[in-house]
Structure 1
Amino acid sequence: MIISEREMEECLLGETGDPHSRLGLHPLGAKKGLVARALDPGADSIRIIDLRDDSSQSLVRLDERGFFEVALPGESKPFPYRFVSRRGGGEHEWEDPYSFLPSVGNDELKGFSEGTDRRPFLKLGSMPRTLNGVEGVSFVVWAPSARSVHLVGDFNSWNSSSLPMRSLGSCGCRELFVPNARVGQKYKFRVLGADGVLREKSDPFAFRCESPPGNASMVCDRELVTDGIAGAALLPSENPREEALSIYEMHLGSWKFHEQENRPLSYLELADCLPSYLLDMGFSHVEFLPPSEYPFGASWGYQVTGFYAPTHRYGSPSEFKVLVDACKDAGIGVIVDWVPAHFPADEFALSRFDGTCLFEHEDPRQGRHAEWDTLIFNYGRAEVRSFLIGSALAWIDRFGISGFRV
């Protein structure tokens, strides 16, 4: 056993800020060779495969919770490899998440930390990407005071300890690239807070969310992101300030029900009938009551938990874009209600995200809305300002909306 008991325990509990320095393949120094370590709580045994010649060597189980290690004295420098885990009667070959460099760095997150990054969603959240020729998803979450953060999701069978995330430094973010994770999979962050409380949190930057009671985030295709291009094209007009303005305000879920199925119309069904109705009635714009994700139906969307995600209730994000495009193609501008004033205290969302009042004020006189019992954003915090402004721009970049009602 090369790793110390303390170092292994910190790795198993996720309490090391840099699990990549202990897991994976590392030199032992002084020409002693390499050491390979793997964390797979469900494995009966693990082998490391040398991709140069397909040779393999078994790792030794050091802990029943799935920590494995083997010394490779004949090797002088790291080599391409994969692990093979045996579970029951089957084997599973996998790329090691701890063999990859960070997908984003502390310097790239400086603007988020200073509140000047207007599009932090291009760096934080879940990002499908290819690293070193391997397809997967990188996950980045802001949790500066967390004792540990583990990633859990469909890609690791929701195991609570197999994917500890690394700290990126002073920005307060944690990061992990998960090979072979893919669009559509659900995930959460398992955060051990500064207060010692373990919470499973949805992703504040999620582009798509699961319905309650699961409330997981979902990896979403990022091809919709256009960095402002979608929102740049205004409706045909020489000067929109001189044009007549007539706005139709509506709640997507109660405007019209499906005649046979007694349910609200979907985004796609609304795209078929809403634009012509608005034109017939002489409106220039439509204003949607908050289309962002929210858990409490009776709030009509005014208690938002997913500031970057259209609600799941009527379809997918791409289908919401079909609705927006249909309105704009008919010459109807689309305004959405944007709610940066407060958020609900649901345990799975922004409230006490890392065991501290991260998004909200610590002082309840500033941080809690007495009438609605919701939490108020701490606008004095630079990262919160970046998060909120970014959410507004994401609706423009992704869907090409025309404006906001705040």
Structure 2
Amino acid sequence: MSPSPDQGQAYPGRWWHTLDDGRVQCDLCPRDCRLHEGQRGLCFVRQRVGDAMVLTTYGRSSGFCIDPIEKKPLNHFHPGSSVFSFGTAGCNLACKFCQNWDISKSREMDRLMDAASPERIAEVAAESGCKSVAFTYNDPVIFAEYAIDVAQACHAHGLYTVAVTAGYIHAEPRHEFYAHMDAANVDLKGFTEAFYFQQTGAHLAPVLETLEYLKHETDCWFEITTLLIPGLNDSSEELEAMSRWIAEHLGPDVPLHFTAFHPDYKMTDVAPTPPATLTRAREIALAQGLHHVYTGNVHDRAGGTTFCPGCQAPLIERDWYEVLRCELDERGRCPHCGTAIAGRFSRFTRGFGRRRVPLRVATA
């Protein structure tokens, strides 16, 4: 049994060590935050207390909601199913364009968060008819201890687990974290070191390492999302280089989502992404050999449809987050030519739809 959440009580953290100068270094992500007594890392939720690292948000959430799995976005992971979604607070990146900044950058969340144990989350998700539980809204890497405990409880209830993450994590915790995840959507913010450093305060290489790790060393299904920001990461040259890298290092069957930016947080002076940019990006990625390329945050029937890479028949048609039609069986095969579609599939009867259902979850 994992511990029950207790408002005001921190949970012992993992992945840290003490330096010769007496500081405590967090070894969870490549930031390697080095802390004196009472200091918090850049993520704000991992803190030094005494001679140890603690996680200050264990058992507490910024909110619970039932979503369509397509909203994560995952188009090849049990299409049309519902997913129980929650996050906590904080983030280990500093994206100027953050679309969830009110959660990821909040410093007041301790007074607002609902409390729920891992067991209770799994129980409510199962009772709600969800097929999976997603760690989302902010990056689950920074609350890895809580996410892993929830994942174990979910698996005991026959639920899948999903991580929506930027993939910014060190090798040792990465191994354990993804051992408990059935699927992931990894944000590939851009494809230049300059963009990562200037716009997110992080680095590109660790994210690419995570993607290669997922592909070659795990059974975790994963898809990639890139938010296209006009003038910053949407050049044809960068999109060609990124798509070519994905095809060569991860293979042509990894789904890639290009999503539209809207002005927010510290980028209110940048215009929204034109639909034509998403269409161009999709065409570039397809030309580089990727089989499944999608557009998001826009109404685009072609950009939301899963086509058979063998005969090009439309197999799963979507509008925004709603599955309109699915011809795949639980084996994920094209009924027209027999080609196996990469992903994790189950029998499709009727899609959950595009609705979002907020919930309150209290530990019994």
TM-score bracket for this pair, using the shorter chain length? 0.3 to 0.5
Compute the TM-score of the two structures, normalised by the length of structure 2: 0.34
Compute the TM-score of the two structures, normalised by the length of structure 1: 0.31
